């Protein structure tokens, strides 16, 4: 058997966002203010490691009139057109454009090219979910300029929607857009009212969903209204007649986040016909919070780990995810940005609990003791690391017994013949084999029994090597006569097939 070195694969880095800023300053304060703005923006941009400085464009202008030269503005747009910029920062909407129409036109033009405009004072990103709708509203107010925009603001602006709701605003269950506002669909509206009534009377979201399904009532796509849909309905403020904008936003790392007060929330009245009173809605929110807290207390296994499980691969947090009876903890980075951003493997909750028992040398699981003795639990591919409050570190090996979610070869095996992924299959007498995912008519790769794959792995990594495989092997390629284990740190092992 020979060992060959293969070149490691290049990893592609995410390109930095090229960020420019546009500033407009009035003539009388020009010199001071221009220098200040340029330095403000260049610091702001260079401070962010995911950003690349693409310049500050500054025009002089006389406040209150429309007679500005705007040569820098034109240069900015030209550079955007030339593909030199990904994101434009602007102090406020009133600085950006002469009027609403102008502002929207420019922002839309840039958006089509994939360029975002971010307004600092109003905290709006033009590419966010509600960005365009907010711009429509704010730009019309910015013209008046006398108003201060920035805190939570409430409008009665039904007429402003006369042109139609911008793209991406689907009607929630119970409503349809009639060109002027979201009107109640009577049959669906009745269900929404029923959901609120029963929930406020003490029924659970689960029980309500179940009984609706029993009556054959379905949601928009003809699928039954599930527990999560009931919860969504119970937490959607639109049903009170008020539309909330900027419930989510996109952060600097281009990740969508829930707005928990980082940005202003904009409330718009008169867009939805109300189905539920504000008092009932508030009561439902309180009950949801209370029940969520109670549910946590009822399940002592869930609570103790929260916030203390970290990813050994990328350093991010691990969160609990459930699917049926299956409970596992997985990396948030990987969940949000995909496998390329973090190569960690999720861990079953029962395995985590077993690891705690082993480390604590106890048969029972004591949440209070865990919190007192352990400050952090780091999940690696080959082990679970407990950082104790006394400064020591204890480790237990990860378990890969081949069952669901714990097969060491998962997502690593590829076909040398056609390049496709290989899948784990059951062959004769329940024996497991790894076979090309392409149909036999397209690819005739010789199936590899898992027992042989394990033998091959053991010959390179030793017995009980599952954790090491997950940790160190980048890719396993199967051809008709050999198996190649490509290592993450470069190099490879070659196994002659039997
Ligand atoms: Zn991770
Ligand atoms: Zn194949």
pLDDT in tens, 146-186: 344 433 344 434 344 444 454 446 788 999 877 667 899 99
Q: Which residues surround ligand 2, an ion (CB under 5 A)?
A: 415, 417-418, 420, 436, 438, 443, 445
pLDDT band at residue 470 under the 50/70/90 scheme: confident
Q: How far apart are CA 461 and CA 455, in angstroms?
A: 10
Ligand in nearest proximity to the CA of 332: 1
Q: Which residues surround ligand 1, an ion (CB under 5 A)?
A: 311, 313-314, 316, 331, 333, 342, 344
pLDDT digits (tens, 9 = 90+) for 325-373: 778 899 988 888 877 788 888 898 888 888 888 888 877 777 778 888 8
Does 405 reside within a domain?
no
Do 44 and 128 lie in a common domain?
Answer: yes
CB 433 within 8 A of CB 425: yes
Nearest CA to 343 out of 487, 463, 454, 221 is that of 487
What is the CA(420)–ligand 1 centre distance, in A?
Answer: 26
Ligand in nearest proximity to the CA of 435: 2
What is the CA(228)–ligand 1 centre distance, in A?
Answer: 27
Do 31 and 81 lie in a common domain?
Answer: yes
pLDDT band at residue 400 under the 50/70/90 scheme: confident
What is the CA(114)–ligand 1 centre distance, in A?
Answer: 28
pLDDT band at residue 201 under the 50/70/90 scheme: very high
Do 49 and 143 lie in a common domain?
Answer: yes
Do 258 and 373 lie in a common domain?
Answer: no
Q: How far apart are CA 376 and CA 357, in angstroms?
A: 15
Do 485 and 452 lie in a common domain?
Answer: yes
Does 157 reside within a domain?
no
- The helix (run of H) or strand (run of E) holding residue 329 is strand 326-331
- Write the DSSP symbol of residue 165: P
From the centroid of its chain, how far is CA 340?
14
The residue count of the chain comes to 498
Q: How far apart are CA 305 and CA 330, in angstroms?
A: 12
Instruction: Output the average pLDDT for the chain.
Output: 79
CATH code of the domain covering residue 273: 3.90.1750.20
Does 163 reside within a domain?
no
Percentage of the chain exceeding pLDDT 90? 26
**71-81 helix and 100-112 helix, angle to the nearest 10 degrees:** 20
Query: Which of the listed residues 397, 421, 444 is the one where a domain comes to its end?
Result: 397
pLDDT band at residue 481 under the 50/70/90 scheme: very high
Q: How far apart are CA 498 and CA 490, in angstroms?
A: 26
What is the CA(408)–ligand 1 centre distance, in A?
Answer: 17
Do 201 and 275 lie in a common domain?
Answer: yes
CB 389 within 8 A of CB 373: yes
Pairing outcome for strands 256-258 and 318-323: unpaired
What is the CA(419)–ligand 2 centre distance, in A?
Answer: 6
Domain hosting 453: range is 413-496
What is the CA(320)–ligand 1 centre distance, in A?
Answer: 14
Do 36 and 136 lie in a common domain?
Answer: yes
At residue 149, the pLDDT reads: 40
What is the CA(307)–ligand 1 centre distance, in A?
Answer: 14
Do 228 and 256 lie in a common domain?
Answer: yes
Helical H runs in 402-465? 450-461
What is the CA(316)–ligand 1 centre distance, in A?
Answer: 5
Ligand in nearest proximity to the CA of 419: 2
Does 7 reside within a domain?
no
At residue 162, the pLDDT reads: 41
Most confident of the following: 136-150, 286-300, 338-352, 481-495 = 481-495
From the centroid of its chain, how far is CA 176?
28
- For the residues 57-77, what does the mean pLDDT come to? 71
HSE value, Cβ hemisphere, 13 Å, CA-based, for 299: 13
Distances 142 to 41, 58, 148, 479 between C-alpha atoms, Å: 22, 20, 9, 65
Do 287 and 308 lie in a common domain?
Answer: no
Do 106 and 124 lie in a common domain?
Answer: yes
Q: How far apart are CA 359 and CA 356, in angstroms?
A: 5
At residue 263, the pLDDT reads: 63
Do 343 and 447 lie in a common domain?
Answer: no
Does 271 reside within a domain?
yes
What is the CA(299)–ligand 2 centre distance, in A?
Answer: 46
Do 312 and 291 lie in a common domain?
Answer: no
Q: How far apart are CA 273 and CA 174, in angstroms?
A: 10
What is the CA(400)–ligand 1 centre distance, in A?
Answer: 19
What is the CA(252)–ligand 1 centre distance, in A?
Answer: 19
Q: Is the dihedral of CA 280, 282, 286, 289 positive or negative?
A: positive
CB 175 within 8 A of CB 182: yes
Does 120 reside within a domain?
yes
Nearest CA to 41 out of 97, 107, 89 is that of 89
What is the CA(449)–ligand 2 centre distance, in A?
Answer: 15
Does 483 reside within a domain?
yes
pTM of the full structure: 0.43
Query: Which of the listed residues 276, 295, 314 is the one where a domain comes to its end?
Result: 295
Token pair recorded at residue 158: 């039904």
3-state secondary structure 380-391: CCCEEEEEECCC
Q: How far apart are CA 81 and CA 85, in angstroms?
A: 8
Ligand in nearest proximity to the CA of 418: 2
Query: Which of the listed residues 150, 184, 204 is the one where a domain comes to its end?
Result: 150
What is the CA(462)–ligand 2 centre distance, in A?
Answer: 28
**Per the structure, how many domains does the chain have?**
4
Does 357 reside within a domain?
yes
Q: How far apart are CA 276 and CA 384, in angstroms?
A: 49
């Amino acid at each position: 058997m020979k060992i060959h070195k293969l070149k490691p694969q290049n990893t592609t880095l995410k390109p930095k966002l090229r960020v420019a800023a546009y500033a407009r300053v009035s003539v009388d304060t020009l010199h001071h203010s221009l220098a200040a703005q340029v330095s403000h923006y260049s610091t702001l941009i260079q401070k962010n490691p995911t950003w690349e400085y693409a310049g500050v464009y500054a025009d002089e202008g006389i406040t209150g009139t429309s007679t500005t030269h705007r040569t820098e503005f034109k240069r900015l747009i030209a550079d955007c057109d030339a593909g030199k910029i990904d994101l434009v920062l602007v102090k406020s909407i009133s600085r950006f454009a002469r009027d609403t129409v102008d502002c929207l036109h420019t922002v839309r033009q840039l958006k089509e090219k994939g360029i975002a405009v971010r307004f600092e004072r109003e905290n709006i990103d033009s590419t966010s979910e509600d960005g365009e709708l907010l711009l429509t509203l704010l730009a019309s107010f910015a013209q008046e300029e006398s108003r201060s925009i920035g805190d939570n603001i409430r409008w009665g602006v039904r007429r402003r929607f006369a042109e139609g709701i911008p793209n991406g605003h689907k009607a929630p269950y119970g409503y349809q857009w009639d060109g002027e506002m979201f009107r109640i669909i009577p049959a669906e509206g009745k269900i929404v009212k029923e959901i609120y009534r029963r929930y406020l009377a003490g029924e659970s979201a689960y029980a309500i969903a179940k009984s609706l399904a029993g009556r054959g009532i379905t949601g928009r796509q003809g699928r039954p209204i599930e527990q999560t849909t009931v919860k969504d309905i119970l937490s959607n403020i639109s049903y009170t007649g008020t539309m909330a904008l900027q419930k989510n936003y996109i952060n600097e790392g281009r990740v969508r986040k829930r707005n928990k007060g980082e940005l202003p929330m904009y409330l718009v009245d008169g867009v939805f016909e109300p189905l539920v009173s504000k008092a009932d809605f508030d009561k439902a929110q309180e009950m949801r919070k209370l029940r969520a807290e109670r549910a946590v207390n009822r399940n002592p296994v869930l609570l103790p780990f929260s916030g203390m499980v970290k990813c050994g691969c990328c350093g991010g947090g691990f969160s609990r995810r459930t699917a049926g009876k299956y409970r596992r903890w997985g990396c948030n980075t990987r969940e949000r940005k995909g496998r390329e951003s973090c190569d960690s493997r999720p861990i079953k909750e029962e395995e985590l609990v077993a690891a705690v028992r082993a480390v604590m040398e106890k048969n029972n699981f004591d949440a209070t003791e865990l919190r007192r003795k352990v400050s952090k639990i780091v999940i690696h591919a080959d082990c679970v690391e407990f950082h104790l409050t006394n400064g020591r570190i204890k480790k237990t090996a990860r378990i890969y017994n081949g069952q669901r979610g714990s097969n060491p070869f998962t997502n690593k095996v590829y076909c040398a013949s056609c390049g496709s992924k290989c899948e784990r299959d059951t062959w004769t007498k329940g024996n497991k084999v790894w076979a090309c995912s392409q149909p036999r008519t397209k690819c005739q790769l010789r199936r590899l029994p898992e027992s042989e794959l394990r033998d091959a792995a053991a010959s390179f990594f030793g017995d009980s090597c599952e954790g090491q495989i997950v940790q160190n092997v980048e890719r396993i390629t199967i051809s008709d006569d050999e198996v190649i284990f490509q290592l993450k740190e470069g190099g490879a092992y070659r196994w002659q097939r039997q």
